[in-house]
Amino acid sequence: MDPLVIEWGAALRASDKSEDTIRVYTEAVDHCARWAGKPPMELTSADVSAWLGRPGLSKNTKAAYYRRLKAWRRWCKRTRRGNLRLLQARGSRTGPVDGWAVRGCRIGCVPW
């Protein structure tokens, strides 16, 4: 796992998150980065969209992964970690992952 993701896990622990929460949050970032073949700090909206668009993921699973990646992004921004290029996909208000490049959805990406 990337050292920065491990550091984020320590920050989650310091804020009294449960060990299960820490595990699923850090694993989501790690899995997305490994799938994209790049460090977590280099993830782009296209990487996240493609990862969320994998076949077999339910809408709820996509929403959960999105929340975890968004928490990672917020922590990186708040702690001023590098030049993070992860972008937010702006979706409609009809669902938590609408707007990501998943089957049948439009893309509207803007910087977080």
Q: Is the pLDDT of residue 108 over 60?
A: no
Q: Is the model's pLDDT at 102 over the cut of 60?
A: no
- CA-based angle 26:74:38, to the nearest 5? 50
Say if CB 43 and CB 85 are below 8 A apart. Answer: yes
**Sequence spans of domains, the chain:** 3-111
Query: What is the rounded CA–CA span in Å between residue 73 and residue 76?
Result: 5
Which of 1-5, 46-50, 80-84 ranks highest by mean pLDDT? 1-5
More confident residue, 77 or 86: 77
Nearest partner of 51 among 77, 28, 73, judged by Cα: 28
Q: Are 32 and 48 in contact (CB under 8 A)?
A: yes
Lowest mean pLDDT across 11-25, 28-42, 83-97: 83-97
Residues 94, 61: Cα–Cα separation, whole Å: 16
Its pTM stands at 0.74
Low-confidence winner among 4-8, 19-23, 61-65, 100-104 (lowest mean pLDDT): 100-104
Convert the pLDDT of each residue in 29-78 to its tens digit: 999 999 999 999 888 888 898 999 999 999 999 999 999 999 998 898 88
